Amino acid sequence: MRINLRKTVFTRKETDFIIDRLKQAAERGYITSRSENNIYLKASFKGVEGKGITPKWNVKIYTYNWEKRGHSLVCVDKHVLGMLLDQDYDGLIPPDLQVLRIDDAGWGFPLCGVMVGVSDEQSVRTAAVPVEYFRDDTAHPFHTKRYLKRYADLAIQILDQFGASPDTHRIEICTGYVNQPLREKLRRLGYDVRVAEIKGMLQDQLEALYKAYVFEEVGSDIYYDPKDMKKSDIPRRYRECLAYGRKHCPHQIKTGWGALGGQSSSGIDWRGG
């Protein structure tokens, strides 16, 4: 059966086929079933370390929705899902090429732009999408999503600095909304691209470089790395940074995040209090 994975809602017949193929892949050890406490979840799978699919990869299939007239499917990377449905298990094995890793920093920070970083595990190179792309009072307003193209363009420029090509390098890239268009553009250019959990040199240096970038932009050492904090502490630090921005550098606030309505897309009240 050929299935159009560009869709998000699938018929019962399509869903049964998808789940059957995923179960077969699980029996071969490429993925594993996940048990989640969600009555609306029909099936859930994630990747298995060492089998060509990172554990960061996952797919969730929901129970039949009468309004949508089908089963909803959410997947981290449908390219991998397509290989599993085609039972192209050999395609899951990464090619023997040099690896370049890509990650982002600053997406969840209320001030300044967003940084993209690329590393060959010997060095890290970065570029920043200016905050203007995340505001609604500029030539690049947030709602146009031009920041996605700018982010992708900057990343590809950095790959050129490494002398990368699809014949010499493959790409490992972090999950996340801002990386998705870049991931697909790199595939169109011919790169083998894998979703991965980015650790080590790139993660550590990128956070340090973003911290320095924020200091240069706003004049204060206020950036925090949410990965190093308790989740319960993040809203407080977020509000503190936003309060600093309102007082000292309002032009550095990512106002496109629903700020004009007082509520960000993350549900955090930008007005403080």
Query: Where are the domains positioned within the chain?
Result: 9-92, 95-258
Give the model's pLDDT for residue 269.
38
Which pLDDT band holds residue 104 (cuts at 50, 70, 90)? very high
CA distances from 45 to 36, 170, 179 (A): 10, 25, 22
pTM of the full predicted structure? 0.88
For residue 93, which of 147, 58, 51 has the smallest C-alpha distance? 51
| Distance between CA atoms of residues 77 and 5, nearest Å | 10
Burial (Cβ within 10 Å: 0-12, 13-18, ≥19) of residue 131: buried
Residue 32 · residue 39 · CB < 8 Å: no
Topology (CATH) of 95-258: Nucleotidyltransferase; domain 5 (3.30.420)
Give the model's pLDDT for residue 265.
38
DSSP state of 168: T
Q: What is the CA radius of gyration of the chain?
A: 20
DSSP state of 128: E
Burial (Cβ within 10 Å: 0-12, 13-18, ≥19) of residue 17: middle
> Model confidence over 182-232: pLDDT tens digits?
999 999 999 999 999 898 999 999 999 999 999 999 999 999 988 888 888
> Model confidence over 134-189: pLDDT tens digits?
998 888 889 999 999 999 999 999 999 999 999 999 999 999 899 999 999 999 99
The phi, psi pair for 43, rounded to 5°, reads -155, 150
